[in-house]
């Protein structure tokens, strides 16, 4: 039975959410991650909303075919009031457990149009948008936000705006938009949000292990976690958090279990007419994160980035993962170049 998102929000158990990640968190990825225990709630990649937009068919398909039995929240991004209202109305004709507004995407093309993270430059505009969305949305309405555009100076003002609109949940990715993905996460701002908002707050950013999850929950008082890259690298993370909290032994995969997951990813990123080169490109995106947790020198990461065939990809993965040693899958400080796109910097 699908426990409604609303039930999770009204209960007291900590909530485990899988973060929305464009080009990653699609139907097949959800199917795969669910095999490892999965989160309590799934968020879709964002629906891009503007004057002439229509709802992206492949994201709708993930909502309709949701193979997890768990609630799915549909995320929208945009700044055009009428188009946003039209789109959220249409979305509610599908089995969505909630609607989430993206206030964090740092992609320049999005921010230039005063959408995503760009909206954080104009809290007045957010106020108007949320008033209209609250009116149009009958299911839980949530917001996923960063702590500011180029500084966190206006964060309290933002919280004042968010507090006015009977939101059902707010997720805070505690970085500014210009900080993108690789700076420290400033969890003290999540704590501020917890103190200022009447709704549950989820903490987001750099939750890479059950121990870290526990520590940030304690530090912030959040109602739960939204986890992104940590779940690509380590799909066991949700189950590990549950076990740790229940006082059960935390499962730690060995190399072969990770190899099996990587083979699952290879299958999840394939499609009938997809050329081998494109398939390799797709799976490499996920491997960027996984490789950071496999060995510390960067040798595996850099070798994976150079492969061009599936045979070569599998040979390399077997060379590094066909063993029974436990893998924590937390990111090593692998040497990275300044232009390394390791955290979705090319998109959201």
Q: Cβ 296 to ligand FMN, closest distance in Å?
A: 20
User: How far is Cα 326 from Cα 76, in angstroms, rounded to an integer?
Assistant: 39
- Choices 58-66, 81-89, 149-157, 339-347 (CB under 6 A): range interacting with ligand FMN: 339-347
Out of 39, 228, 255, 293, the residue judged to bind ligand FMN by CB under 6 A = 228
The partner residues of 17 in beta bridges, in order of sequence, read 41, 226
Q: Centre a 10 Å sphere on the Cβ of residue 155 and count the other Cβ atoms it contains.
A: 23
Cβ proximity to ligand FMN: between 21 and 161 the closer is: 21
- CA distances, 147 to each of 123, 293, 319 (Å): 12, 28, 42
User: Residue count at the site for ligand FMN (CB under 6 A)?
Assistant: 25
**What is the C-alpha separation between 181 and 24, in angstroms, rounded?**
16
Name the one range near ligand FMN by CB under 6 A: 13-21, 156-164, 212-220, 324-332: 13-21
Q: Which of 9, 15, 16, 21 binds ligand FMN (CB under 6 A)?
A: 21
CB of 178 to ligand FMN, least distance (A): 15
Phi, psi angles (nearest 5°) of residue 49? -115, 130
Q: Tell me which DSSP letter residue 68 carries.
A: T
> Which of residues 15, 16, 17, 24 is near ligand FMN by CB under 6 A?
24
3-class DSSP state for residue 209? Answer: coil
**C-beta of residue 333 within 8 angstroms of C-beta of residue 265:** no
List the catalytic residues. Answer: 105
Residue list 93-152, contact with ligand FMN (CB under 6 A): 102, 104-105, 144
Among 15, 19, 63, 268, binds ligand FMN (CB under 6 A): 19
Which of the stretches 49-57, 154-162, 222-230, 324-332 binds ligand FMN when contact is defined by CB under 6 A? 222-230
User: DSSP of 45-56, one letter per residue?
Assistant: EEEE--TT----
The two structure tokens encoding residue 300: 């595996």
Chain residues binding ligand FMN by CB under 6 A are: 19-22, 24, 45-46, 75, 102, 104-105, 144, 173, 204-207, 227-230, 343-344, 347-348
């Amino acid at each position: 039975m699908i426990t409604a998102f609303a039930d999770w929000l009204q209960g007291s158990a900590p909530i485990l959410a899988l973060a929305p990640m464009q080009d990653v968190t699609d139907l097949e990825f959800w199917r795969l991650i669910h095999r490892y225990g999965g989160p309590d709630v799934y968020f879709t990649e964002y629906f891009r909303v503007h004057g002439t937009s229509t709802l992206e068919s492949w994201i709708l398909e993930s909502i309709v075919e949701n193979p997890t039995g768990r609630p799915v929240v549909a995320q929208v991004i945009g700044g055009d009031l009428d188009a946003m209202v039209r789109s959220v109305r249409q979305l509610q004709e599908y089995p969505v457990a909630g609607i989430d507004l993206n206030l964090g995407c740092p992609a320049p093309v999005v921010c230039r149009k005063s959408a995503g993270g760009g909206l954080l430059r104009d809290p007045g505009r957010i106020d108007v948008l949320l008033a209209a969305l609250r009116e149009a949305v009958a299911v839980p309405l949530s917001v996923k936000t960063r702590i500011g555009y180029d500084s966190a100076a206006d964060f309290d003002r933002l919280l004042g705006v968010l507090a006015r609109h009977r939101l059902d949940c707010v997720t805070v990715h505690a970085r500014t938009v210009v900080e993108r993905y690789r700076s420290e996460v400033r969890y003290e701002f999540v704590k501020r949000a917890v103190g200022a908002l009447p709704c549950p707050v989820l903490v987001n950013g750099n939750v890479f292990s059950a121990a870290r999850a526990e520590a940030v929950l304690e530090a912030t008082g959040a109602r739960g976690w939204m986890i992104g890259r940590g779940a690509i690298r380590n799909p066991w993370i949700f189950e590990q958090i549950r076990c740790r909290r229940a006082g059960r032994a935390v499962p730690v995969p060995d190399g072969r279990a990770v190899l099996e997951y990587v083979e699952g990813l290879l299958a999840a990123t394939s499609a009938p007419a997809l050329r081998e080169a494109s398939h390799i490109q797709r799976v490499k995106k996920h491997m960027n994160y996984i490789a950071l947790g496999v060995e510390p020198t960067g040798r595996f990461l850099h070798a994976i980035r150079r492969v061009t065939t599936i045979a070569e990809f599998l040979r390399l993965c077997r060379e590094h993962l066909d063993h029974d040693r436990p893998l924590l899958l937390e990111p090593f400080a692998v040497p990275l170049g300044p232009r390394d796109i390791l955290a979705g910097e090319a998109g959201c």
